[in-house]
Amino acid sequence: MKSRILHILSGIFIGAMLCVSFCVIPQATGADWERSLPFTPQQLAIIKQVKLALSTYQVDGDKKDTIDDTKMYYGALKGLVASVGDPYTRFVEPKMLEEENLEMEGEYGGLGIYMTSRDGRTIVIAPIEDTPADRAGIKPLDEIIKVDDKNVLGMDSDEVVKMLRGPAGKPVTLQIRRKDVEKLIPVKMVREIIKIKTVRLEMLGDGIAYIKLNHFNLKTDEELRAALETAFSKKAKGVIMDLRNNPGGLLDVCVDVTSQFIDGGVVVGMKGRFDKANETLYAKEGRANDLPLVVLVNEGSASAAEIFAGAVKDHKRGTIVGAKTFGKGSVQTLFNLPDGSGIYVTIARYHTPSGFVLDHKGLQPDIAVAGEPKKEKKEDAQLQKALGVLRQKIKEKK
């Protein structure tokens, strides 16, 4: 079995992976094999009996594909992994793992929803900007109750992801439960090929560079560098980094992005049970700019987005404006299994440079402003506050 430390800090949101280090876990052979088994001989015999009973007596067991050894095997592995009670520790079948790898390249078929699992519920972290989910009005913290006519309460998150994906052009209807709304909300969408552009630059008045950062994937640092170069060429005087509805992504990319604003010092620390899970990651010196900075966050800002905002806040590099963040503060490792499947295992929780552990808490902004992203900037209360704060910073710098 091989493992790779994921620089991924997102939820079960149609994932993303990057290999950082490889190690081989020794496999027992010969006389060591029986001693290494995680179950007793009696437990293994009972598992075999259960399989035999299903194969022999289940009423539909004679129908094609009802009794399938591979499905049973993967089902057992999913149950084994799920027994630890951590939604981010999960087993992924080979095909699903392939799709998650492809997704990190920035393109896949579906609705554009990042989501996670909490207490058996499927919770939206954030919709991706300009996708079917975004255009249909899906919001952070919405709970998905049904996909078409199928109730997904208590369902494994990977199964929900499979249901949401599909060929471009194929419609799907979700039943959504939203805070402070009494009835379920039906949301009909048509699947598309989702192309994720992680960085979008817009020059606003008064020399303000507005940068919307949607995700931390393999292309993000390069895209951000290009956006900043364009901003400099247009005489930018300050930057608003909009991380609202950004669900996270790759940790090393987050460190690179943070290095564009912080010249050295701690970006994030991790605490776990073994040496490699106890790391402190530092900003790369010589890359930072000195433009006044404001960071926008909300309840859809998670994981790597929270790390970035936390580092900016603790280093007093900029001002955080918006609403309390999602509170996803754990790091996963992917163990690649010989058949192409894999296991994500939570190996550590991360903390900001000041030592604050974000997991299940979220980051409080420096300036709290209620609201949500709006297409019309004048109607966006959080953005308008950020603009006011940044203009004052620019004025003070003169």
Query: What are the average pLDDT values for consecutive 10-residue runs of the chain, which has 398 residues?
Result: 44 32 42 63 86 88 82 90 89 84 65 83 87 92 93 84 87 93 94 87 94 92 96 96 92 95 96 89 94 96 95 98 94 88 91 94 97 90 97 89
pLDDT of residue 4: 42
Options 139, 212, 237, 328, the catalytic residue: 328
Considering the entire predicted model, what is its pTM? Answer: 0.77
Catalytic-residue membership of 398: no
Q: What is the pLDDT of residues 238-295, one digit of tens each?
A: 999 999 999 888 889 999 999 999 999 999 999 999 888 899 999 999 999 999 999 9
Options 301, 303, 330, 341, the catalytic residue: 303
Q: How far apart are CA 259 and CA 155, in angstroms?
A: 39
Residue 266, number of CB atoms within 10 A of its CB: 18
Single-letter amino acid, residue 349: R
Token pair of 216, please? 């931390």
Catalytic-residue membership of 328: yes
Beta bridge partners of 351: 269, 357
Options 3, 314, 341, 385, the catalytic residue: 314
pLDDT of residue 350: 92
| CA triple 195-88-159, angle to 5 deg | 65
Q: In whole angstroms, how far apart are CA 200 and each of 9, 43, 129, 134, 185? A: 21, 55, 10, 16, 31
Would you give the distance in Å from CA 73 to the centre of its chain? 28
Catalytic-residue membership of 119: no
